[in-house]
Amino acid sequence: MQKRLSLNEYMNGILAGNRIILSRAITLIESQLPQDKPLAQQLLEQLLPYTGNSVRIGITGVPGVGKSTFIEVFGKTITSLNKKIAVLAIDPTSQLTKGSIMGDKTRMEELAHDPLAYIRPSPAGSSLGGVANKTRETILLCEAAGYEIIVVETVGVGQSETVVKGMVDFFLLLMLAGAGDELQGIKRGIIEMADAIAITKTDGENAQAAQNARLEYLHALHLYPTPVNGWVVPVMTCSALQNQGILEIWQTIALYAEKTKTSGFWQQNRQQQNLGWMYDFIQQTLEEDFFSDPIVTEKIPRIQSDILAGKILPVQGAKELLGSVKRTH
Amino acid sequence: MQKRLSLNEYMNGILAGNRIILSRAITLIESQLPQDKPLAQQLLEQLLPYTGNSVRIGITGVPGVGKSTFIEVFGKTITSLNKKIAVLAIDPTSQLTKGSIMGDKTRMEELAHDPLAYIRPSPAGSSLGGVANKTRETILLCEAAGYEIIVVETVGVGQSETVVKGMVDFFLLLMLAGAGDELQGIKRGIIEMADAIAITKTDGENAQAAQNARLEYLHALHLYPTPVNGWVVPVMTCSALQNQGILEIWQTIALYAEKTKTSGFWQQNRQQQNLGWMYDFIQQTLEEDFFSDPIVTEKIPRIQSDILAGKILPVQGAKELLGSVKRTH
């Protein structure tokens, strides 16, 4: 393992925008080693005053929607405006396959070599909650390193979207124009989270289908209530291949930032996310501690099978497990 | 307070279908008194072999959709088929207003006097989780008392739908035909939970609007993936006033029961719900115990305001709280 730097070395390196030291700091906060945790915590605490000044964007979409290509062109658009962008990933599946969606070296090659861009693969972790926590901390480190736009990428399936929604300012849903059942494969709740929908690959033969899909989505969104912040969710079209519509998406996000900062929603949302982070962390720690208790671990298989067989009441099983562990001051 | 019966008196009364004893048993399980808990637990454990034989139906819809009227006519339809029906309510708002949605004495008056029907208002409780737990136990008591159809009613706002979805076999969403924005006021995620949508008040001048709304909903549902159990969610129309379409809704539910029992989905769903119940109860108890700890209670206001002010990291606050309480065997 690489030698750890001192707190000051990490601090100064990050504040100077040194990417190598930023990477090493992220590795430090991702570390599962108990001896790394105090330093990681101290570093985050000291960097806290330098955080918060980015636009945090969540991007999701089903596999095949062209997420990498989109993010690459989106990122180049940002850097061409002379702004710094960091791309992080939340990918709970990478824990299973050991093949992170961001681990693919051929992805975003051009962006990866852009001096204004920083790309970081998904952290390893035993639970989505753990991964989320590390990603939240990585956002703070990137902000302290001067990244003005931070993209958190997630695959468009499962629970990770909810987690990402809870850590970003703007949630962008990428969709494919298809024939017919437009929302196939996207969980309905994900549509609800979107601050904008962008239909990708709007080029060549796909152009007309994309326009039709746009109307379909607008219709579907129209059926739902307007979000509490008063923002009307736009449905946009874009082509990463032809670099069309990408700048407009960034402009839309910038407009959202401007409007919600003026209304105060931006700040309120961040504050609520921070409180949510605290409660998530507590809930997660309580459960992790409980379910990693050796007595609980030993009893669970029998209790689960008794419940599945209808032999005992769920509450009976729960009480037996809860009774195994006592809490004191 | 009314004198408690013995375990055997409760047992025999419930198994004989005695409504007065059933009511007293529900009061016992709803009791917050520590001395009532062992008896309540014993009773549930002993009744377990007599439970599970009902069709559990969740019904939701926004205020004004005509839920009470619908349930009254639906209930009378069930009893006219010589089947016993119990109606329970989950109503987290009633804790605040002290005016339970089921407490209104004029509601479902006819059904309330039907010897084959049993109506029970929402239990009091400090949390939705607690209320849900009591409702799950009440379902079991009603099943042991021979009720073949159990309706769990909830208001169409907030989190209670998710909770009800986790304890029923079939989830029915009542909707109003309106002009334009049809899904207004219903959270999008609730549409996703529905096993059927019924448009109420399809009578008189409303009949045409209801047919239009039906097509709108069918279109909207068509945009989403088919549920995992292969059931195609029907959109039906009904009029409680004219007693039209209500029997068809029951027949649809019965068909769903038949199909999913054959495919095995019914049983799997029940088993997963039971495991979910255990995990919910554990999570809820861990958090309740933690947040009712006097040291935690004392520290929380300062920590929350430090987080809101951006003075400390959420994880820092969480760790300070978690460090206040230790767990042992």
- CA atoms of A212 and B126, how far apart (whole Å): 49
Question: In this complex, which of A41, A137, A322 lies closest to B285 when CB atoms are compared?
Answer: A322
Which value, in Å, is the radius of gyration of the alpha carbons in chain B? Answer: 22
The pLDDT of residue B66 is above 80: yes
Structure tokens at A222: 């129209």
What is the arithmetic mean of pLDDT over B155-168?
79
> B223 vs A181: CB contact, 8 Å cut-off?
yes
Rounded to 5 degrees, φ, ψ at B228 are: -60, -30
The pLDDT of residue B179 is above 80: no
Question: In this complex, which of B185, B225, B289 lies closest to A184 when CB atoms are compared?
Answer: B225
Structure tokens at A134: 């590390």
Structure tokens at B104: 């209104």
Interface A–B counts its CB contacts (< 8 A) at 172
Q: Are A270 and A257 contacting, i.e. CB atoms less than 8 angstroms apart?
A: no
Mapped onto helix, strand or coil, the DSSP state of residue B150 is strand
Question: In this complex, which of A48, A289, A321 lies closest to B313 when CB atoms are compared?
Answer: A48
> B312 vs A274: CB contact, 8 Å cut-off?
no
Under the banding of pLDDT at 50, 70 and 90, the label for residue B327 is: low
Under the banding of pLDDT at 50, 70 and 90, the label for residue B182 is: very low
Judged by a CB distance cut-off of 8 A, whether residue A50 touches chain B is no
Question: In this complex, which of A182, A223, A274 lies closest to B314 when CB atoms are compared?
Answer: A274
Judged by a CB distance cut-off of 8 A, whether residue A328 touches chain B is yes
Tell me how long chain B is: 329
CA distance B157 to chain A (A): 13
Structure tokens at A171: 């949630």
- A17 contact partners, CB below 8 Å, separation of at least 6: A84, A145, A146
Q: Please report how many Cα atoms fall inside a 13 Å half-sphere around the Cα of residue A75, on the Cβ side.
A: 29
Judged by a CB distance cut-off of 8 A, whether residue A218 touches chain B is no
> A318 vs B191: CB contact, 8 Å cut-off?
no
Q: Which CATH number fits domain A1-50: 3.30.420.40, 1.10.569.10, 1.20.1440.230, 1.20.5.170?
A: 1.20.5.170
Judged by a CB distance cut-off of 8 A, whether residue A216 touches chain B is yes
Mapped onto helix, strand or coil, the DSSP state of residue B279 is helix
- CA atoms of A77 and A114, how far apart (whole Å): 11
- CA atoms of A317 and A242, how far apart (whole Å): 59
> A318 vs B187: CB contact, 8 Å cut-off?
no
Residues of chain A contacting residue B314, judged by C-beta atoms under 8 Å apart: 274-275, 277-278, 281
Residues of chain A contacting residue B213, judged by C-beta atoms under 8 Å apart: none
pLDDT at A179: 38
Question: Which portions of chain A are predicted below pLDDT 50?
Answer: 94-105, 179-182, 184
- CA atoms of B182 and A122, how far apart (whole Å): 40
CA distance B13 to chain A (A): 21
Judged by a CB distance cut-off of 8 A, whether residue A299 touches chain B is no
- CA atoms of B62 and B177, how far apart (whole Å): 12
Residues of chain B contacting residue A281, judged by C-beta atoms under 8 Å apart: 314-315, 318-319
pLDDT at A234: 93
Summarize pLDDT for B113-138 with one digit per residue, the tens.
Answer: 999 999 998 776 667 777 888 999 99
Structure tokens at B277: 């119940």
Closest by CA position to B222, among listed B248, B191, B243, B198: B191
* Residue-range domain boundaries for chain B: 1-49, 51-262
Looking at chain A from residue 237 to 276, which residues have their Cβ under 8 Å from any Cβ of chain B? 271, 274-275
Q: Greater confidence, B198 or A219?
A: B198
Mapped onto helix, strand or coil, the DSSP state of residue B171 is strand
* Strand ranges (E), B47-110: 55-61, 85-90
CA distance A81 to chain B (A): 30
pLDDT at A305: 95
Under the banding of pLDDT at 50, 70 and 90, the label for residue B158 is: low
Q: How far is CA A14 from the centre of its chain?
A: 22
Judged by a CB distance cut-off of 8 A, whether residue B215 touches chain A is no
The pLDDT of residue B193 is above 50: yes
Summarize pLDDT for B67-94 with one digit per residue, the tens.
Answer: 889 999 999 999 999 999 999 988 655 4
- CA atoms of B66 and B63, how far apart (whole Å): 7
The pLDDT of residue B98 is above 90: no
Average predicted confidence (pLDDT) for chain B: 86
Q: Can you give A241-309 as a three-state secondary structure string?
A: CCCECHHHHHHHHHHHHHHHHHHCHHHHHHHHHHHHHHHHHHHHHHHHHHHCCHHHHHHHHHHHHHHHC
**Fold for domain A51-262?**
Rossmann fold (3.40.50)
Looking at chain B from residue 89 to 128, which residues have their Cβ under 8 Å from any Cβ of chain A? none
Rounded to 5 degrees, φ, ψ at A327 are: -110, 140
CA distance A45 to chain B (A): 7
Judged by a CB distance cut-off of 8 A, whether residue A289 touches chain B is yes
Residues of chain B contacting residue A137, judged by C-beta atoms under 8 Å apart: 315
pLDDT more than 70, % of chain B? 87
The pLDDT of residue B228 is above 90: no
Mapped onto helix, strand or coil, the DSSP state of residue A199 is strand
Question: In this complex, which of A312, A317, A327 lies closest to B327 when CB atoms are compared?
Answer: A327
> B192 vs A191: CB contact, 8 Å cut-off?
no
Prediction ipTM score: 0.80
3-state percent helix, strand, coil for chain B, nearest multiple of 5? 55, 15, 35
pLDDT at A1: 56
**Fold for domain B1-49?**
1.20.5
State the CB neighbour count (10 A cutoff) for residue B66: 19
- CA atoms of B151 and B170, how far apart (whole Å): 10
Q: Are A235 and A221 contacting, i.e. CB atoms less than 8 angstroms apart?
A: yes
The pLDDT of residue B205 is above 90: no
User: In a 10 Å sphere around its CB, with 0-12 CB exposed, 13-18 middle and 19+ buried, how is residue A178 labelled?
Assistant: middle
Judged by a CB distance cut-off of 8 A, whether residue A323 touches chain B is no
